[in-house]
Amino acid sequence: MELNYATPGIPDHVPPELVRPYELAERRTIYENPYEAIIPAVHEGPAAFMSPHAYLGVAPAWVFRRAADIKKILMDNENFIKKGNTSFARMIGEDWDVIPTELDPPRHTAVRRMLNPMFTPAKVGAFEHKVRERARDYISAFKDRGHCDLIKEFAVPYPVSIFLDLLGLPTARMSEFLEWEFALIHASELEDRVVGVRAVKAYLTEVIEERRRRPGDDLISNALQLEVEGKKLTPDEVFGHCFNLFIGGLDTVTANIGLHFMHLAMHQDHQQQLRDDPAVIPAAMMEMLRAYSATSHQRICSNDVEIAGVRIKAGDRLLVPLPLAGRDPEMYESPNEIRFGRNATVLTFGFGIHRCLGVYLAQREIQFALQEMLSSVPTFRVRKDFRIPFRVGGVIHTWSLEIEW
Amino acid sequence: MVTAIGDAGERRDGPRNLRAAVDRTACCGYALCVEICPDMYELGDDNVVHIIQATIPDELMERVRRAVELCPQSALSIEEGDF
């Protein structure tokens, strides 16, 4: 394997005082809120530091904590590239790109130009009534019961079932797909992640072949028709794109919805504010997206550069944690306070050319979740004695959230 | 004469006449500006952003600035000049 998983050492040019642990990158479950217990302490440290396992849990990477530096990195596609950054292909000894997220310009630009029209606000708006109905369906199953596990009964099946519909994949197999997704994104052990990647590869390859023979009205069939720079995608590219859709659609909205409801269950005054004035919900959602940003991203340095006062060399790996950006005291006044009227710039869906392709769907899903829950379920709180499990790593999740009302 | 306005380049002296501009060769239709300020930007049938009203009304200025800041392709700008 090209990427050395045998714990490669810290490069010589890194000053020893800038080598430090970074707890948020360790894939594990903790029982304290990482936004309170870990992130503020990171903001008391240096602007950039190198952590031995920050890169996908297996290799050293520079970690940046300031929103201004993160914006600079995400806008600089010459010095900070993405080729091969997820390592999913290399994990199984293959060579394909996750598309578009592992592409760099100019190919990335050409691909996004063709993909963006499929996910515009207008395209999503055309089926948003179905999204809202789906939220209502799941909520009505538990709203009269007085309690639920908000993650298992809502934050998982609601956005995931919508995405499976878009891909034309069977909702009946959702739990199997989620097992693979969990393995490849969240598993602590590399071997488990490899199993997840192989399972998704085998399944999607089969589905793509089937759609090639019998096209339908779904995103996988669309990928087969897509022309970029006048040419259809190669079989590897079609697969790489479907893989990107699969990993993008089955995890992050669940994380965001879970974290937002965790916040509201613990802050009933904030619930009340939204119940009294539902018009505040869109702004409240943006504020919670800022404060509970969930994903961290990788870049690979392609030239020697200096950023945040440190020298970075070509080949160095970078971790860009959006949960840190969202709580940066230099960017946001009192960042640990949730203020629905803040109206701040939010980096949660990324910044620059790799901004989330599904953002307009994701925002609607989260907003409808908040609106429908608050209008159907009375004031809810975390069930007494329930300890909220948080999964940290590349994506921060509340793993389970037992609430009652 | 038209001057592009950068972060520090906002001129307060003299009459201001600010208008929104889009570099349509750079635009890839991310539509972020459409989501932030639909009164100013729209996506055309060619999937490239079009400006709805050239001169930026004061009440939209904050939204336009945010759209300019967040455009993934850096395709948006605010221009100043005598139009």
In a domain, B12, yes or no: no
How many structural domains does chain B have?
Answer: 1
When pLDDT is averaged across residues A70-84 and rounded to a whole number, the result is: 95
Task: Grade residue B3 by pLDDT with cuts at 50, 70 and 90.
Answer: very low
Looking at the predicted structure, is the pLDDT value of residue A371 above 60?
A: yes
Looking at the predicted structure, is the pLDDT value of residue A231 above 70?
A: yes
Contact with chain A for residue B73, Cβ under 8 A: yes
pLDDT of the residue at A141:
98
Task: Name the token pair of B79.
Answer: 């221009």
In a domain, B55, yes or no: yes
pTM as predicted: 0.93
Domains of chain A: 16-404 (1.10.630.10)
Instruction: Please give the mean pLDDT across all residues of chain A.
Output: 95
Residue B75: count other Cβ atoms within 10 Å of its Cβ: 20
pLDDT of the residue at A385:
96
In a domain, B5, yes or no: no
In a domain, B10, yes or no: no
pLDDT of the residue at B2:
42
Q: From residue A250, how far is each of A160, A258, A298, A353 by CA, in Å?
A: 5, 13, 19, 22
Do B73 and A351 make contact, defined as CB atoms within 8 angstroms?
A: no
Cα separation, B16 vs A135, in Å, equals 48
Q: Tell me the per-residue pLDDT of B67-80, one tens digit each, with 9 for 90 and over.
A: 999 999 999 999 98
Helix (H) or strand (E) holding A81: strand A80-81
Do A121 and B28 make contact, defined as CB atoms within 8 angstroms?
A: no
pLDDT of the residue at A68:
97
Closest residue by Cα to residue B27 from A26, A117, A326: A117
Instruction: Please give the mean pLDDT across all residues of chain B.
Output: 84
In a domain, B74, yes or no: yes
Contact with chain A for residue B21, Cβ under 8 A: no
Do A117 and B32 make contact, defined as CB atoms within 8 angstroms?
A: no
**CATH of residue B65:** 3.30.70.20
In a domain, B32, yes or no: yes
The pLDDT > 70 percentage for chain A reads: 98
The pLDDT > 90 percentage for chain A reads: 91
When pLDDT is averaged across residues A302-320 and rounded to a whole number, the result is: 96
Task: Grade residue A241 by pLDDT with cuts at 50, 70 and 90.
Answer: very high
Q: In a mutagenesis test of the B interface, which of A101, A355, A356, A367 is the best target, namely the one with the most B β-carbons within 10 Å?
A: A355
State the residue range of the domain holding B64.
17-80
Looking at the predicted structure, is the pLDDT value of residue B83 above 60?
A: no
In a domain, B67, yes or no: yes
Closest residue by Cα to residue A355 from B7, B23, B31, B6: B31
Which chain B positions have a beta carbon within 8 Å of A354's beta carbon?
72
pLDDT of the residue at A58:
82
Looking at the predicted structure, is the pLDDT value of residue A6 above 50?
A: no
Which chain B positions have a beta carbon within 8 Å of A355's beta carbon?
30, 32, 72
CB-nearest partner of B28 from A116, A351, A360:
A116
Q: What are phi and psi of A30, to 5 degrees?
A: -125, 160
Residues of chain A with a CB closer than 8 angstroms to some CB in chain B = 75, 109, 112-113, 116-117, 120-122, 345, 351-355, 360
Least confident of A168-172, A207-211, B17-21: B17-21
- The whole-angstrom distance between B53's CA and the closest CA on chain A is 20
Q: In a mutagenesis test of the B interface, which of A108, A109, A120 is the best target, namely the one with the most B β-carbons within 10 Å?
A: A120
Task: Name the token pair of A280.
Answer: 């505040």
In a domain, B66, yes or no: yes
**CB half-sphere exposure, B30, CA atoms < 13 A:** 27
